[in-house]
Amino acid sequence: MAKFVIKGGNQLNGKVKISGAKNSALKIMAASILATGTTILKNVPAIDDVITMVEVLSTIGADISFNSSTNEVKINCDNIKTFEAPYELVRKMRASILVAGPLLSRFGEVKIAIPGGCNIGSRQIDLHLKGFEMLGAQNKLEHGYIYSKVLSSASSSSGHTSISKNFKRKLKGAEINLEFPSRGATENIMMAACLATGKTIINNAAKEPEINDLANFLNKCGAKITGIGTDSIVIEGVEELKGCEYTVMPDSIETGTFIIAGALCGKKIEINNAIWDNMGIFCQKLKDIGVNLINKDADKTIIVKKSKTLLKPAYISTLPFPGFPTDLQPIIAVLLCTIPGISVITENVFENRFMYVDELNRMGANIRIDGHHAVITGVNKLSGAPVNASDLRAGAALVLAGLIADGTTEIYDIHHILRGYENFDKKLRNLGADIVKVN
Ligand code: EPU
């Protein structure tokens, strides 16, 4: 089993380039199911989750290749024959559920394993299913699978293409009010609605920049989506989408991770391919804490410099975009652990996202959990220890803790980290960190 071994105490300095966004690339790959012809995606991160999505799409019959050195994916879904996504793949990666909307739209039915919970929470998909129902499908849950099928047929109004020939039943546009701005539900419904008849409106939609990226990709393929970036997304159904060439946006969570690395132990870190506006309230919150951040928007660059003043404790509350992102919650916790005084983090999105706390406490942090609040008392130093990554972002947080801890930190279960960060150890080493991956 691979682990990261980190010797703490090095100051970081230099430039780092942010990779393509995991949570955009995966959805755009799934969306390519809807398009005829070939789609070429650029800036796709070489991470394990992308490899799993390649596997999912090739299992259902897509012709797909991924060049990890050029970060390019080539997909042709013209010959997909099945509408089933098996448990072996869905259990490996929850985001596999995002093929459900496109498959339902394309075949009029889909059978997909229920993903179940994970280490950060129970992760329901009821809102996805309600959305499918509103678009005219009926859902049946049986033997751990969801079987969703379009009930009545609404025939397509004009010519047929190789994909639209496959349409047995079409979804029908509807107005859908989401109880919570779920990202996955917004994405699945938006994809399903692109080829439905008539207009779909998703109210209380998620507004994360990755959703805008997916909508922009779909529009480039010929979809008619408006209201992008607002909480009311409107989709006018079209007859056909055609594959296109598209560049995936930069990863905002990776950007945030390097910003915190800079705040913890950076002299000056220049973060390239980083978009300030995609960070929501995150950068403002860090400025309030006293982190020295410079936005060079025109160059897509964010600079973090060592702060000349003492950093201040903070109250953080996670919320959907543009609120403070839950994915950066474990990561900012490491910074707050080192700031004198008391900080409080309230986690509002996932009920189980404090799994990293016991590991940080083993490294000398002082964090107490009270329900969905973490009360953090700043300490003078962390000390290196063997620790376990319970999920992707928890793992990244432990890496950052290791960078500033006394002595050596060994991080186990790093397969979680490799799911979502491209060349994490190499990028940190280039900035001056002493981190190695040991197999
Ligand atoms: N929820 C429901 N019902 C649903 C859908 C969601 O109750 O039908 C609840 C969830 O249980 C959760 C909350 O709503 O409590 C948020 O879920 P959402 O659907 O917004 O999240 P997701 O699409 O499952 C994505 C990211 C996560 C990120 C969350 C929140 C992907 C592949 N995953 O998950 O990313 O934390 O949004 O921003 O896009 C990660 O990258 O490490 C990661 C976990």
Residue 157 near residue 195, CB atoms below 8 Å: no
Closest ligand 1 atom, residue 49 Cα: 32
Of all protein residues, whose CA lies closest to atom 33 belonging to ligand 1? 23
Give the tokens for residue 324: 């403070």
Position 67 pLDDT exceeds 50: yes
Task: Report, as an integer, the average pLDDT of 85-104.
Answer: 91
Q: What is the mean pLDDT of the chain?
A: 94
**What is the pLDDT at residue 25?**
98
Mean pLDDT check: name the lowest of 12-26, 81-95, 216-230. 81-95
Q: Is 71 left (phi over 0), alpha (psi -120 to 50) or beta?
A: left
Phi, psi of 67 (to 5 degrees): -100, 105
pLDDT confidence band for 153 (50 / 70 / 90): low
**What is the pLDDT at residue 196?**
97
pTM: 0.96
Residue 40 near residue 63, CB atoms below 8 Å: no
Position 165 pLDDT exceeds 90: no
Nearest to 5 by CA among 316, 323, 414, 379: 414
Strands, DSSP E only, in 129-228? Answer: 137-142, 145-150, 175-177, 199-203, 224-226
Position 152 pLDDT exceeds 70: no
Closest ligand 1 atom, residue 181 Cα: 20
Position 167 pLDDT exceeds 60: no
Ligand 1: which of 29, 118, 182, 354 to mutate, judged by most atoms within 8 Å of the beta carbon? 182
Cβ atoms within 10 A of the Cβ of 204, count?
18
Task: Report, as an integer, the average pLDDT of 162-166.
Answer: 45
Q: What is the pLDDT of residues 104-143, one digit of tens each?
A: 999 999 999 988 667 888 788 999 999 999 999 999 999 9
**What is the pLDDT at residue 87?**
87
Nearest to 29 by CA among 69, 76, 91: 76
Q: What is the pLDDT of residues 275-318, one digit of tens each?
A: 999 999 999 999 999 999 999 988 899 999 999 999 999 999 99
230 Cα to the center of ligand 1, angstroms:
18
Closest ligand 1 atom, residue 420 Cα: 41
Give Cβ neighbours of residue 137 (< 8 Å, ≥ 6 apart): 104, 109, 148, 149, 150, 151, 171
182 Cα to the center of ligand 1, angstroms:
6
91 Cα to the center of ligand 1, angstroms:
15
Position 64 pLDDT exceeds 70: yes
Closest ligand 1 atom, residue 392 Cα: 42
Total residues belonging to the chain = 439
Ligand 1 pocket, CB under 6 A = 23, 26, 95, 121-128, 180, 182-185, 206, 326-327, 349-350, 392-393, 420
Position 154 pLDDT exceeds 60: no
**What is the pLDDT at residue 163?**
45
Of all protein residues, whose CA lies closest to atom 11 belonging to ligand 1? 123
**What is the pLDDT at residue 157?**
42
SS3 247: strand
Residue 189 near residue 176, CB atoms below 8 Å: yes
Mean pLDDT check: name the lowest of 4-18, 157-171, 347-361. 157-171
Of all protein residues, whose CA lies closest to atom 18 belonging to ligand 1? 182
Of all protein residues, whose CA lies closest to atom 10 belonging to ligand 1? 123
**What is the pLDDT at residue 271?**
98
Task: Cite the active site residues.
Answer: 118
